[in-house]
Amino acid sequence: VASRILVTGGAGYIGSHTAKLLRMEDIEPVVYDNLTTGNRSSVRWGPFVHGDILDTTRLIEVIEQYQPVAVIHFAASAYVGESVVDPAKYYNNNVRGTLSLLDACRQAGLYRMIFSSSCATSGAPTVLPIDEATPQLPINPYGKTKLMAEHMVADYGAAFGLNYVALRYFNACGADPEGDLGEWHDPETHLIPRALMAAARRIPHLEIFGEDYDTPDGTCVRDYIHVADLARAHVLAYRHLAQDGGNLALNLGTGRGHSIKEVLRTIVDVTGHDVPVVFHRRRSGDPPTLYADAGLAYRSLGFVPRYSDLETIVRTAAPFFGLEARS
Ligand code: UDP
């Protein structure tokens, strides 16, 4: 192995896909995860350390033991709805947890961090697409904790010479194109897996949260980006830092928005199964339309999504729900 990268939250959905890609790039991922939402069986490309990011002492020991060249920090709580009813969990894991990791990095001398942020830091912007100059005015505790963590990373960067890239994901979706890793959250709340569960009759129907938005077909519009593309952006971000490329905060999206109804049509086309739906009132905290200006990630990292068209997203995800994609 040429080098190692510490991957907090590497047993989770985006973390595990990134760990696999690192391994393919001859970088050994050292996964550090408390397994509250991660899956032990998703850690297959390097050592696993069972630990909590709030445990600074443990993090220092792990950094000293494995001597990673960078840390990719995924470990966080990530349900918008839950963050509204249980903000303490989010301030603890996402704010205190990131602070703990930053202190461990500082004390153990690890000076490169790639941080998982979110388009939720932008709130409900009135001007679209969302670029990196769009004001960050989060509208829920999840987005606020991600923004606070971004600020902490930047301040540690300025004070102690930590170099960083903050990556603001739009809607992560899809599954490993080689079929090694899927999308599983417990509970599963995300649109595409829930719609596939409904198509496979594992749940009676999909609830569509709001049909009366000011959007072309009345349903919310989001920028769906494939997890394999997100994983590659992390590798590119690491290469950028390894070449002393300077600190960045980047949106990771495709630059295109799709409505819920468009997503459902693609699922019907690709799987041949209909998706039973029930219309439901709006979910609180949902902005009508979000999509990225993807230009800066392209200009600074050369990042171009390859798997993020809706058809490929559904094709890669469908087998994990027992659905065959039509040829
Ligand atoms: N959504 C829905 N039914 C569901 C799950 C999600 O109508 O069972 C909608 C949700 O209100 C939002 C979009 O689908 O408009 C994407 O939601 P998701 O939770 O996947 O991601 P988010 O945009 O919240 O990060």
Ligand 1 atom with least separation from CA of 171: 25
User: Residue 187 has what pLDDT?
Assistant: 86
Distance (Å, rounded) from C-alpha 140 to C-alpha 284?
10
Task: For ligand 1, say whether the CB of 215 is within 6 Å of any of its atoms.
Answer: no
Is the pLDDT assigned to residue 1 strictly greater than 80? no
Q: Residue 130 carries which DSSP code? A: B
Distance (Å, rounded) from C-alpha 227 to C-alpha 320?
14
User: Residue 73 has what pLDDT?
Assistant: 98
Does residue 24 form part of some domain?
Answer: yes
Distance (Å, rounded) from C-alpha 319 to C-alpha 209?
25
- For atom 5 of ligand 1, which residue has the closest CA? 191
Average pLDDT, the chain: 96
Ligand 1 atom with least separation from CA of 209: 7
Question: What is the number of structural domains in the chain?
Answer: 1
Give the pLDDT band of residue 214 (cuts 50, 70, 90): very high
Task: For ligand 1, say whether the CB of 173 is within 6 Å of any of its atoms.
Answer: no
Alpha-carbon separation of residue 54 from 30, 75, 92, 97, 275 (angstroms): 17, 10, 8, 5, 41
User: What's the average model confidence in pLDDT over 215-240?
Assistant: 98
Task: For ligand 1, say whether the CB of 208 is within 6 Å of any of its atoms.
Answer: yes
Does residue 100 form part of some domain?
Answer: yes
Distance (Å, rounded) from C-alpha 113 to C-alpha 195?
35
Distance (Å, rounded) from C-alpha 134 to C-alpha 115?
19
Does residue 29 form part of some domain?
Answer: yes
Distance (Å, rounded) from C-alpha 74 to C-alpha 22?
14
User: Residue 286 has what pLDDT?
Assistant: 87
ipTM over 0.90: yes
Catalytic-labelled residue, pool 32, 142, 224, 238: 142
Is 13 annotated in the active site?
A: no
- Lowest average pLDDT, out of 204-213, 224-233, 276-285, goes to 276-285
Helix, strand, coil percentages in the chain from 3-state DSSP, rounded to 5: 40, 20, 40
Ligand 1 atom with least separation from CA of 290: 23
- For atom 18 of ligand 1, which residue has the closest CA? 190
Give the pLDDT band of residue 284 (cuts 50, 70, 90): confident
Task: For ligand 1, say whether the CB of 209 is within 6 Å of any of its atoms.
Answer: yes
- For atom 19 of ligand 1, which residue has the closest CA? 190
CA of 68 to the centre of ligand 1 (A): 36
- For atom 7 of ligand 1, which residue has the closest CA? 208
Is the pLDDT assigned to residue 235 strictly greater than 90? yes
What range defines the domain where residue 116 resides?
3-173+225-252
Residues 93-126, buried b or exposed e (16+ Cβ, 10 A)?
A: bbbebbbbbbebbbebebbbbbbbbbbbbbbebe
Is the pLDDT assigned to residue 240 strictly greater than 80? yes
Task: For ligand 1, say whether the CB of 313 is within 6 Å of any of its atoms.
Answer: no
Distance (Å, rounded) from C-alpha 149 to C-alpha 256?
27
Task: For ligand 1, say whether the CB of 189 is within 6 Å of any of its atoms.
Answer: yes
Ligand 1 atom with least separation from CA of 206: 8
Cis omega (within 30 of 0) on the bond before 135? no
Does residue 92 form part of some domain?
Answer: yes
Task: For ligand 1, say whether the CB of 222 is within 6 Å of any of its atoms.
Answer: yes
Task: For ligand 1, say whether the CB of 207 is within 6 Å of any of its atoms.
Answer: yes
Give the pLDDT band of residue 81 (cuts 50, 70, 90): confident
CATH number assigned to the domain comprising residue 142: 3.40.50.720
Does residue 77 form part of some domain?
Answer: yes
| φ, ψ dihedrals at 136, nearest 5° | -95, 100
- Over its C-alpha atoms, the chain yields an Rg (Å, rounded) of 19
User: Residue 270 has what pLDDT?
Assistant: 97
Does residue 310 form part of some domain?
Answer: no
User: Residue 326 has what pLDDT?
Assistant: 85
Give the pLDDT band of residue 182 (cuts 50, 70, 90): confident
| φ, ψ dihedrals at 154, nearest 5° | -65, -40
User: Residue 180 has what pLDDT?
Assistant: 95
Does residue 79 form part of some domain?
Answer: yes
User: What's the average model confidence in pLDDT over 97-126?
Assistant: 97
Does residue 312 form part of some domain?
Answer: no
Ligand 1 atom with least separation from CA of 118: 25
CA of 191 to the centre of ligand 1 (A): 5
